[in-house]
Amino acid sequence: MDKKEIGSFNSEAIGQKILLLTAFIEGASVMAVELLGAKFIEPYFGSSLYTWSSVLAVTLLGLAVGYYLGGIMSKKYRDVEILYKTLGIAAVLVAAMPFIGSFVMEFTLFSDVRAGSVISSMLLIFPVTCCLGMTSPMIISALSSNVEHTGKFAGKTYAISTAGGIISTIVMGFFLISILGLRICTIVVAIGTMIMPVVFFLKTKNIKRALIFASIIVLLSSINIISISREFPKSQHFNVLHQSDGLMGQLVVIDYLKKETRLLYVNNISQSYVYLPTERSVFLYVARIAAYSSYKPVGSKVLLAGLGGGLMVNEFEILGFEIDACDIDPRMEMIAKEYFNMTDKVNVITDDFRHIIRTTKNKYDIIAIDISAGENQPNNLYTLEAFQDMKAVLKDDGVLFIHYPSAYNTSMGMALKSIGRTLKEAGYTVDLINTTSKFDVLQEYVYFASVDGSRLADQDFSRRDSFALPYKFPMYEGVVFVRMKFDKGLVLTDDKPMMDLLHNELATSYRVQMQPTIKSFLNEGIRFH
């Protein structure tokens, strides 16, 4: 095909292969922007269904508006140069995302979680995806020499664009975000998006425009790199020790100087909370589970789901247990050891917990699930089939502990009741331990589910760690304050996994509770990107 015959645009300076490569880069950039946008929003508004629904909806809206405008522009402007001007603007907007993100999130932080995530997505993601969406109709117009060829080139353009999106999603999600962090990934995407505009303007001898676009990207990239190289801010009240981004969210370790405590946050939801002088958890449920596990003898095998800062691991190690601990985020082991002094006497497995219980050949005395603090609950762990899988790897007298915060006598309690009912349907004998007699307030509940029908109140806790004694956790008849009923709960199954939905109210409650803390961080110069 002669270059002069390509498209309704005046495309003498560009060939078919370059246009298709442009489509590939556009598709890759769209998916990268969607992932990066979600990750910029998560520390402020979480990773709940609301956030991801907002990000997905706004991405599609931006593309839809972009496709429409691009169609109009491909008819109005006959020169293919407009395509690369639009792509260059998109690249600049990508490079500016960290700066736009910080301003937007802080501006919308104290909105309702749902409204805030929508507004943030509109301001951060919509302009970029709209510009990227505009390029597709232009590419198709430039490729199509006549009406008969339009369908052929439309299919080819969208197929290549989609292929770029697939590769970008895998590379960004599996590797780059966790290795490079959000700001560096933003630079990579911005530079990748800008390649074709610069090549085009150089090819058409428009050196001035090529230099302008390239200079803007270099400037924004340099500012990003400088901001990354700065030391973590220190203030009168806080000291940031660690901050990293990955597909599972942003991890931040912060010392509260006056309280002598250290917290691990995942997307600004507290996961581990240690009192530094004792190196023990401030969250009492950790000591409570350890205390009530102490009836098991030294050498008992434990499988822990959810590593966090490793504070539960340390409690089990004090009791002389053999510990396998699972976490899907590979960063957790390093953080637990470096910042929370987790013992080396643990086998850490980076994997999905359901996959582990389906493939392990080990038998355990105790399985402990401590994954409830985050907004995204793994649906596949709270189902009838999952609890049956756990039962298969527990010994005949094995027990299952599950930590889950809730308020029993509120709508939030449906998740609590559903877990309990599903455990019973799976054949466990279930006790629910509460931390206060006020059942309409949020508190830390712990399930004790036995395989052989034993009850927690019947066990001997004389071996329990003396650290737990000052807390006066009840023993024997007082262990279970009240026999909870689960009959109004739902039976959760693999076919109908509903924990994300049932957990939403709790997740939103956590996010609202964290807003004053985030505000105090921002007031003292601590930023999350």
Q: What is the pLDDT of residues 106-144, one digit of tens each?
A: 777 767 778 888 999 999 999 999 999 999 999 988 887
Domain-embedded: residue 15 = yes
Return d(Cα 21, Cα 3) in angstroms, integer. 16
Beta bridge partners of 335: none
Question: Which strands sit side by side in the sheet containing 261-266, from one edge to the other?
Answer: 238-246, 249-256, 261-266, 269-275, 280-281
- Confirm if 395 and 329 have CB atoms less than 8 A apart: no
| Confidence band, pLDDT 50/70/90 cuts, at residue 357 | very high
Domain-embedded: residue 66 = yes
Lowest-confidence region among 177-191, 218-232, 252-266, 492-506: 218-232
409-455 pLDDT per residue, tens: 888 889 999 999 999 999 999 988 876 677 788 888 899 999 999 98
Spatial neighbors of 9 by CB under 8 A, at least 6 apart, are: 74, 77, 78, 79, 80, 83, 138, 141, 142
Do you know the residue count of the chain? Answer: 529
Beta bridge partners of 280: 275
Domain-embedded: residue 105 = yes
Amino acid present at 44: Y
The answer, yes or no, to whether residue 374 has pLDDT greater than 70, is no
Query: How much is the average pLDDT of 215-241?
Result: 82
Other C-beta atoms within 10 Å of 497: how many?
19
Domain-embedded: residue 259 = no
Q: C-alpha angle with apex 115: 110 to 116, nearest 5 degrees?
A: 45
- The fraction of the chain above a pLDDT of 70, given in percent, is 89
Query: How much is the average pLDDT of 33-62?
Result: 88
User: Are residues 114 and 37 part of one domain?
Assistant: yes
Domain-embedded: residue 234 = no
Domain membership of residue 460 as a residue range: 284-510
- Confirm if 346 and 320 have CB atoms less than 8 A apart: no
Query: What 3-state class would DSSP assign to 15?
Result: coil
Check residue 3 and give its pLDDT. 44
User: Are residues 179 and 53 part of one domain?
Assistant: yes
User: Are residues 410 and 310 part of one domain?
Assistant: yes
Return d(Cα 162, Cα 167) in angstroms, integer. 9
Amino acid present at 372: S
Check residue 88 and give its pLDDT. 96
Q: Helix count (H) and strand count (E) of the chain? A: 17, 12
Amino acid present at 137: P
Domain-embedded: residue 268 = no
Other C-beta atoms within 10 Å of 67: how many?
15
Check residue 78 and give its pLDDT. 67
Residue 310 falls in which region: left (phi positive, over 0), alpha (psi -120 to 50) or beta = left
Other C-beta atoms within 10 Å of 435: how many?
16
Domain count, the chain: 2
Residue ending a domain, among 187, 210, 229, is 229
| Confidence band, pLDDT 50/70/90 cuts, at residue 152 | confident
Return d(Cα 363, Cα 384) in angstroms, integer. 20
User: Are residues 303 and 189 part of one domain?
Assistant: no
Lowest-confidence region among 178-182, 326-330, 338-342: 178-182
Quote the tokens at residue 139: 């590419």
Return d(Cα 172, Cα 195) in angstroms, integer. 18
Residue ending a domain, among 192, 214, 229, is 229
User: Are residues 292 and 225 part of one domain?
Assistant: no
User: Are residues 186 and 96 part of one domain?
Assistant: yes
Q: Tell me, what CATH number does 163's domain have?
A: 1.20.1250.20
User: Are residues 290 and 218 part of one domain?
Assistant: no
pTM: 0.81
User: Are residues 493 and 430 part of one domain?
Assistant: yes
| Confidence band, pLDDT 50/70/90 cuts, at residue 148 | low
Q: Which of 148, 204, 238 is nearest to 14 (CA)?
A: 204
Check residue 471 and give its pLDDT. 64
Domain-embedded: residue 499 = yes
Return d(Cα 386, Cα 374) in angstroms, integer. 20
Cβ-count burial of 146 within 10 angstroms (0-12 exposed, 13-18 middle, 19+ buried)?
exposed
User: Are residues 289 and 222 part of one domain?
Assistant: no
| Confidence band, pLDDT 50/70/90 cuts, at residue 5 | very low
Query: What 3-state class would DSSP assign to 368?
Result: strand
Lowest-confidence region among 25-39, 119-133, 450-464: 450-464
- The fraction of the chain above a pLDDT of 90, given in percent, is 53
Check residue 212 and give its pLDDT. 93
Lowest-confidence region among 358-372, 421-435, 510-524: 510-524
64-121 pLDDT per residue, tens: 999 999 999 888 776 788 999 999 999 999 999 988 887 887 777 767 778 888 999 9
Lowest-confidence region among 51-55, 386-390, 464-468: 464-468
Q: Tell me, what CATH number does 316's domain have?
A: 3.40.50.150
User: Are residues 405 and 496 part of one domain?
Assistant: yes
Domain-embedded: residue 244 = no
Helix (H) / strand (E) containing 511: helix 499-523
User: Are residues 471 and 404 part of one domain?
Assistant: yes
Query: How much is the average pLDDT of 236-260?
Result: 87
The two beta strands, 269-275 and 261-266, are: antiparallel
Lowest-confidence region among 257-266, 296-305, 498-507: 498-507
Query: How much is the average pLDDT of 227-256?
Result: 82
- Residue 155 sits at φ, ψ, to 5 deg, of -60, -45
Q: Which of 394, 388, 396, 371 is nearest to 499 (CA)?
A: 371
Alpha helices in 144-206 (DSSP H): 147-171, 177-180, 182-203
User: Are residues 225 and 155 part of one domain?
Assistant: yes
The answer, yes or no, to whether residue 362 has pLDDT greater than 90, is yes
